[in-house]
A and B are shown apart, each in its own frame.
Chain A
Amino acid sequence: MTRTIQIPNIREFMSRHLVDVFETMLSMKAVLQPSGTVPVFEERVTGCVAFAGDHINGAVYLHLGTPFATQVAATMLGLEPGDLGDAEVNDVVGEVTNMLTGGLKSWLCDSGAECAVSTPAIIRGSSFVIEAVPEVEREWLIFTSDQNRIVVEIHVKIG
Chain B
Amino acid sequence: MAIKILSVDDSRTIRLIVGKAFRPYDVILLEAANGEEGLATAAREKPDLVILDVTMPVMDGVTMLTKLKEDPALKAIPVIMLTAESGRENVLQIARLGVRDYLVKPFKEDQLLEKVGRCVTLEKRPATIAPA
- Give the residues in chain A near B16, CB-CB below 8 Å: 77
User: Is B105 in contact with A76, judged by CB distance below 8 angstroms?
Assistant: no
Given the interface pairs A77-B17, A78-B20, A110-B88, the reply to whether A102 lies near B11 with Cβ below 8 Å is: no
CB 8 Å contact bits of A100-114 with B (1 = contact, 0 = none): 011101110110001
Q: Count contacts between A and B, CB distance < 8 Å.
A: 66
User: Is A25 in contact with B11, judged by CB distance below 8 angstroms?
Assistant: no
Cα–Cα, bound, A88→B89 (Å): 32
User: Is B12 in contact with A25, judged by CB distance below 8 angstroms?
Assistant: no
- Considering the complex, which residues of chain B in the window 62-96 have a beta carbon less than 8 Å from any beta carbon of chain A? 83-90
Max count, chain B CB within 10 A of own CB: residue among A25, A94, A106, A117: A106
CB 8 Å contact bits of A1-28 with B (1 = contact, 0 = none): 0000000000000000000110011000
- Give the residues in chain A near B115, CB-CB below 8 Å: none
B124 at the interface (CB under 8 A from A): no
CB < 8 Å: which of A73, A78, A92, A110 contacts B87?
A110
CB 8 Å contact bits of B8-22 with A (1 = contact, 0 = none): 001111101100100
Considering the complex, give the chain B residue whose CB is closest to the CB of A102: B84
CB<8 Å pairs between A and B, sample of 17: A25-B106, A76-B13, A77-B20, A78-B20, A88-B13, A91-B13, A94-B11, A98-B11, A98-B84, A101-B84, A103-B84, A103-B85, A105-B87, A107-B87, A109-B85, A110-B87, A117-B55
Q: Which positions in A face B, CB cutoff 8 Å? A: 20-21, 24-25, 73, 76-78, 88, 91-92, 94-95, 98-99, 101-103, 105-107, 109-110, 114, 117, 119
Known: A76-B17, A103-B84. 9 other contacts (CB 8 A): A24-B107, A76-B13, A95-B14, A98-B11, A98-B84, A105-B84, A106-B87, A109-B85, A114-B89
